[in-house]
Amino acid sequence: MSDPMRIRAAVKGEKVEVKILMSHVMETGQRKDAEGAVVPAHYITKVTASCNGRDVLSADWGPSVSKNPYLSFRFKGGAKGDKLKVTWTDTAGDSRSDEVSIG
C-alpha cells in the first residue's frame, strides 16, 4: 500500500491554491540496478483532482516526472470547507486517493 499524499488547499483571493506531495518511486524503466538488471518501469500515469465531486484537474503523466512528485495548481470556484480529492493511478494499476478540506 502506498503512503498518503500530503495535500494543502487554501483560498487565496479568488482562487484556491493547491499543493500536493505524492509518495511514489516513479521508476522510468531506464535505470539499471547494481547487478545491471533493468529496474522495471513503475510510474504515475494519471492524476485527477476534484472539488466536491467536480473535476478541477486531470493530468496525464509519463516517466520523466521525478520521484515523490510535487504538484501545485490553482483553480477558481472553490470555497473554504469544500472537499478536495486527489487521485493518482500508476503503471502497476495501483491507485491512491486522499482528501482534505479547503482551508
Partner 1 sequence: MCSSRLLALGLWLIAASASAAPAWEALGKPLAANEIASWDIDVRPDGVGLPPGHGSVEEGQVVYDTHCASCHGTFGESTDYLALAGGVGSLGTATPQRTVGSKLDYATTLWDYINRAMPFNRSKALSVNEVYAVTAYVLNLNDILPADAVLDERSLPQVEMPNRKGFTQAHGMMRADGKPDVRNTACMKDCLKTPPQVSSALPAGFTHQLYGELGPHFRQFMVAAPAAAAPTPAALAASNGCLACHAAQQTRVGPAFADVARRYAAVADAPAQLRQKVRAGGSGVWGSALMPPQTTVTDAALDQILGWILAGAAAP
- Which amino acid, residue 24? H
Residue with the three cell numbers 486531470: 58
What is the C-alpha separation between 94 and 84, in angstroms, rounded?
A: 20
Candidates 2-10, 45-53, 73-81, 93-101: pick the segment binding partner 1 (CB under 8 A).
Answer: 2-10
* CA dihedral (53, 80, 89, 58) positive or negative: positive
Q: Which of 30, 33, 53, 60 touches partner 1 by CB under 8 A?
A: 33
Are 2 and 93 contacting, i.e. CB atoms less than 8 angstroms apart?
no
What is the C-alpha separation between 9 and 88, in angstroms, rounded?
A: 17
Candidates 3-11, 57-65, 75-83, 88-96: pick the segment binding partner 1 (CB under 8 A).
Answer: 3-11
Q: Which of 2, 68, 95, 101 touches partner 1 by CB under 8 A?
A: 68
Binding mask 5-24 for partner 1 (x = CB under 8 A): -x-x----------x-x---
Q: How far is the CB of 94 from partner 1 (least distance, A)?
A: 19
